[in-house]
Amino acid sequence: MAGLSDTVSNHVLDMLNSGSSREQIESDLLLQGHDDNFVKELLHECVKLHYAKRRTQGLTLILCGAVICFLSFLLTITSSITHFSFPLVLYGLTTVGILFVFTGFMKVF
């Protein structure tokens, strides 16, 4: 039974990653002959797992963006001393960091 549950849960996760709705997945599993309670519990757990993965990816992107923005800040402060390319650091790295942060926000929310 555990092997069947693993294969069905992998199938459900693949369908969630491809963009299928909960109703489509539920009707597909019911058409395959699975029990209604089993389908509801499995779908609930798989959706939680799917969103936990997305949240982890989003928080990682937010952290990377924050580090890039902080690095941009440090390089901007020191660029007046070292005559480094000020606009590239100020606008380029800051923009990249902000893009990472907002991409992370899109994954989290």
Residue 1: its pLDDT value, please? 47
* pLDDT, tens digit, 9 for 90 and up, residues 48-102: 998 999 999 999 999 999 999 999 998 888 877 766 677 788 889 999 999 999 9
pLDDT (average), residues 34-44: 89
The residue length of the chain stands at: 109
22-32 pLDDT, tens digit per residue, is: 889 889 888 88
Write the DSSP string, 53-82. Answer: HHHHHHHHHHHHHHHHHHHHHHHHHHHHHH
Give me the pLDDT at residue 58, please.
Answer: 97
Chain-centre distance for alpha carbon 77: 32
Distances in Å between the Cα of 77 and the Cα atoms of 57, 92, 99 are 30, 15, 21
Q: Where are the domains of the chain?
A: 2-108
The pLDDT assigned to 90 comes to: 83
